[in-house]
Structure 1
Amino acid sequence: MSFAYHAYEAAHMMLAPARGFSDAMHLAFRNPANPLTYTPMGRTIAASCELFERTTRRYGKPAFGLPETTINGVKVAVEERVVWERPFCRMVYFDRRIEGRRKPQPKVLIVAPMSGHYATLLRGTVEAFLPGHEVYITDWVDARLVPLMAGRFDLDDYIDYVIAMLQMLGPETHVMAVCQPSVPVLAAAARMEAEGDACAPRSMTLMGGPIDTRRSPTAVNCLAMERGTDWFRRNCITKVPFPHPGTFRDVYPGFMQLSGFMAMNIDRHVSAHYEMYKHLIAGDGDSAEKHRDFYDEYMAVMDLTAEFYLQTVETVFVEHALPKGTMKHRDKPVDCTAIRRVALMTVEGEKDDISGVGQTQAAHDLCPNIPDDKRVHYLQMGVGHYGVFNGSRFRSEIAPRIADFMLTLDMEAAKSRRDASASVARKGLKVAS
């Protein structure tokens, strides 16, 4: 598979002349000055050219595109700022330009999945929490853009990154892991608690994550079990070709991951593109725009380092190291029973075909020492994997529950501080008298 990436690049180069001709035709038959633009033939040609362009395009990284939010009915400007950075990740803070004194609100670090798509896939997740939270997100870097001199990046490094970000943000932080990062976030919390780190998060919310893939195994889980790590090493790992900055780095290419995603529901994707074709011919611009918005995000993929991908496959899907209690981080055991102070919430989707029902809930069994009043599990009926962290039901049913969970913990912590201060004051009065 060492030449798979080169073949992919060559295919794009060979399609360049056809794409150029198609773009010219599309412009010609979308030009208001062309009488044929308004005919059924003209609309058909323009629709065909756009469909060809979209299915052969290389999609770049999308923008978060969240310039403002609404707080108590008032629109507030939002500025993205990078507040922490390492070669393979940046932490982005969505700074809400609130005038005057700010009322304390929960601080949440959203750990985006490093599984092929960019962190912008969680745009809806960020948007839902912006009005009432200080929001940070992990913005993972495409591995093909990281030079070899930057070194390796594996699952241990991922956990190190999460720990470093939590240490920067402080002990009052709530961390939210969407899908794949549920395992490294849980491992990070376990290691921080075991080390007595005061910056361990106040809570962690794990959403649709593969904590124990032996429960309700999905097609993805079964494939990993059947093939094993060596198969993925032989068939999925390739080198980044010239002239990308990460030339010669071993990666699991994003285009392979995208192919896998689309193969799982190929009929749905073909139907969606055919529907867009019909909308374009009919002049239904609104429906076509919805299709564009979704697939501009869905088709934008990034490469993963080979060592991270293979270690994740082996640790999470083949060996089930975390639920078996054999997982290690830098040769130190990941012992979830060490977690006592970090509250835990798990969220699952009834129709999730990536992380089956029960896989995320398993975290509660692994963390028996978390008090019952600091743990919550929620199963959202009628949603699949994507619906766990995005969409109308996420906004109306899931996000409010997570927000209430975080706010309750913050209020309890504030009350504990006030009680402790009052107790100290009372003791001081007794000594003085």
Structure 2
Amino acid sequence: MIYAAYQAQADLLDPLRSAARVSRRMMNTAWGAGWGAGFVHQNALLRNITAALEMFERVSLSHSRPAFGIGTVEVGNREVEVIEEVVARLPFGSLLHFRKDVDQPQPRILVVAPLSGHFATLLHGTVKTLLPENDVYITDWHNARDVPLSEGAFGFDDYVEHVIRFLEIIGPGAHALAVCQPCVQVLAATAVMAQEDNPATPHSITLMAGPVDTRINPTKVNELATSKSMDWFEKNLISTVPPGFPGVGRRVYPGFVQVGAFMAMNMDRHIKAHVELFENLAMGEHAKADTAKNFYDEYFAVLDLAAEFYLETIRKVFQEHDLPRGELTYRGEKIDFRAIRRTALLTVEGERDDICAVGQTVAAQDICSSLRPHLRRHHMQAGVGHYGVFSGRRWQGQVYPLVRNHILAAED
């Protein structure tokens, strides 16, 4: 019922948003033709009207993956074309490669994107920073509402299996970088591969702002996960994809619910950002407005999670803490994290992270107890919240150089 009600509302508002878009463009075109191109921008009332129309036009969610849009990157002293190519396509996710024509081989790195309501393009800034010096791949997760029921379920173990298969496709000698939620799955995949002496076991893993041990410094996210029963989550947050989509009948945790929950955590900040966006549009401050619009275009592009994966993650990671208790399993067998002996480990946390608090990610250092000291490193980035760990100026200037050195040190 939740999904059907949401979709009915979205279908009802779509024509109104289209009308707002047409009206705004007509105003600019008509007044531009009649009184000069700058007439609307010189009239405060008209600027406010067009700003209001654009704000209404933007109040919507997208369920399609935005483009990464990284056409070129500077390698050394020359501009190099970047070509996105799908190396492998599985029902619930694809392995996307940012191919470049460079003179020297670069470290191959798999960026494991979170599956938590947003598309992999949320890591656009992460990828763009990595690209000049690395051969970058990323897990491009699919929207569960677009996956037919005939493709089966997608649970926690299936996610781990995807990471293993993608690393095998990339080949021996690769590195893995996990952002947020998949830190647990990447750690699990690495241990499983090490146990099996898999030649594609990554040479290094970088775990950034992930919920390895959520018993430490619990955040609002952690408290919500532990304050309700599994029954509650299933009855209140899981919905069924309505007719009109390839995945009709599939049980999912809707992306619009997840984004709503994230926004509720910092509602004052989002309201302030939208007030500032309106003011910038009304004042003709297009550069400032574009920065906010680009962020929210990405933030409001949402995907649905398969119900199995969402519920198993809540239970295993947030309620029962299987990983730090040594009880995490893969395909029914307990995972032995002591098997990780040759994969270098870097953990990164943000001082102001209110999603994965300080202490939750560095816990991986103790879990990987067989690693010798020279293969372990931890960094706590001062002055950043969750997103600042993997995007923005401090990621580019302070965190990434540590990641680069970690990867290079683990190269053969």
Q: Fold match, TM over 0.5?
A: yes
Q: Is the 1:88–1:146 Cα contact (8 Å) retained in structure 2?
A: yes
1:72 to 68, 72, 76: 76
Provide Cα deviations, 1:206-254, integer angstroms capped at 9, x if missing partner. Answer: 0000000001110100110111322111100000011011001000000
2:66 to 62, 67, 70: 62
The two structures have a TM-score, normalised by structure 1, of: 0.92
Q: Is the 1:228–1:314 Cα contact (8 Å) retained in structure 2?
A: no
Tell me whether 1:298 sits opposite 2:296 in the alignment.
no
- Which amino acid in 1 is paired with 2:66? P
Tell me whether 1:138 sits opposite 2:139 in the alignment.
yes
Tell me whether 1:83 sits opposite 2:106 in the alignment.
no
Q: Distance in 2 between matches of 1:56 and 1:204?
A: 37
C-alpha displacement of 1:408: 1.4
- Which amino acid in 1 is paired with 2:78? V
Q: Distance in 1 between matches of 2:159 and 2:14?
A: 37
Tell me whether 1:339 sits opposite 2:340 in the alignment.
yes
Q: Is the 1:59–1:296 Cα contact (8 Å) retained in structure 2?
A: no
Call closer, same or farther: CA 1:73–1:359 in 2, change over 3 Å: same
- Which amino acid in 1 is paired with 2:214? T
Call closer, same or farther: CA 1:34–1:276 in 2, change over 3 Å: farther
Which residue of 1 is the match for residue 160 of structure 2? 159
Q: Is the 2:111–2:178 Cα contact (8 Å) retained in structure 1?
A: yes
Q: Distance in 1 between matches of 2:60 and 2:144?
A: 22
Q: Distance in 2 between matches of 1:59 and 1:85?
A: 19
- Which amino acid in 1 is paired with 2:33? A
Q: Which runs of 5+ in 1 are unaligned?
A: 414-433
Tell me whether 1:221 sits opposite 2:219 in the alignment.
no
Which residue of 2 is the match for residue 46 of structure 1? 50
Q: Is the 1:170–1:201 Cα contact (8 Å) retained in structure 2?
A: no
Correspondence 1:223-262 to 2 at 5 A? 223-262=224-263
Correspondence 1:123-202 to 2 at 5 A? 123-202=124-203
Call closer, same or farther: CA 1:34–1:243 in 2, change over 3 Å: farther
Q: State the secondary structure of the residue aligned to 1:29.
A: helix
C-alpha displacement of 1:150: 0.8
Q: Distance in 2 between matches of 1:375 and 1:91?
A: 28
C-alpha displacement of 1:104: 2.6
- Which amino acid in 2 is paired with 1:192? M
Q: State the secondary structure of the residue aligned to 2:70.
A: coil
Q: Which runs of 5+ in 2 are unaligned?
A: none
C-alpha displacement of 1:83: 0.7
Q: Distance in 1 between matches of 2:296 and 2:15?
A: 23
- Which amino acid in 2 is paired with 1:177? A
Q: Distance in 2 between matches of 1:284 and 1:34?
A: 23
Q: State the secondary structure of the residue aligned to 1:33.
A: helix
Q: Distance in 1 between matches of 2:408 and 2:62?
A: 42
Which residue of 1 is the match for residue 26 of structure 2? 28
Q: Distance in 2 between matches of 1:194 and 1:8?
A: 45
Q: Distance in 2 between matches of 1:23 and 1:119?
A: 28
Which residue of 2 is the match for residue 427 of structure 1? none
Correspondence 1:349-360 to 2 at 5 A? 349-360=350-361
Q: Is the 1:211–1:322 Cα contact (8 Å) retained in structure 2?
A: yes
C-alpha displacement of 1:105: 1.9
Tell me whether 1:9 sits opposite 2:7 in the alignment.
yes
Q: Is the 2:60–2:300 Cα contact (8 Å) retained in structure 1?
A: no
Which residue of 2 is the match for residue 95 of structure 1? 99
- Following TM superposition, the consecutive aligned residue runs of length 4 or more in structure 1 with deviations greater than 3 angstroms are 56-60
Q: Distance in 1 between matches of 2:21 and 2:313?
A: 41
C-alpha displacement of 1:34: 4.9
Which residue of 2 is the match for residue 206 of structure 1? 207
Provide Cα deviations, 1:147-200, integer angstroms capped at 9, x if missing partner. Answer: 111111000000111111111222201101100000011011111111121221
Q: Distance in 2 between matches of 1:20 and 1:148?
A: 32
Q: Is the 1:348–1:360 Cα contact (8 Å) retained in structure 2?
A: yes
Which residue of 1 is the match for residue 112 of structure 2? 111
Provide Cα deviations, 1:19-61, integer angstroms capped at 9, x if missing partner. Answer: 2332232122222225462421211110000001101354632
Q: Distance in 1 between matches of 2:139 and 2:62?
A: 23
Q: Distance in 2 between matches of 1:363 and 1:140?
A: 25
C-alpha displacement of 1:335: 1.4
Q: State the secondary structure of the residue aligned to 2:324.
A: helix
- Which amino acid in 2 is paired with 1:87? P
- Which amino acid in 1 is paired with 2:11? M
The two structures have a TM-score, normalised by structure 2, of: 0.96
Q: Distance in 2 between matches of 1:376 and 1:110?
A: 19
C-alpha RMSD over aligned residues: 1.2
Q: Is the 1:202–1:342 Cα contact (8 Å) retained in structure 2?
A: yes
Correspondence 1:367-386 to 2 at 5 A? 367-386=368-387
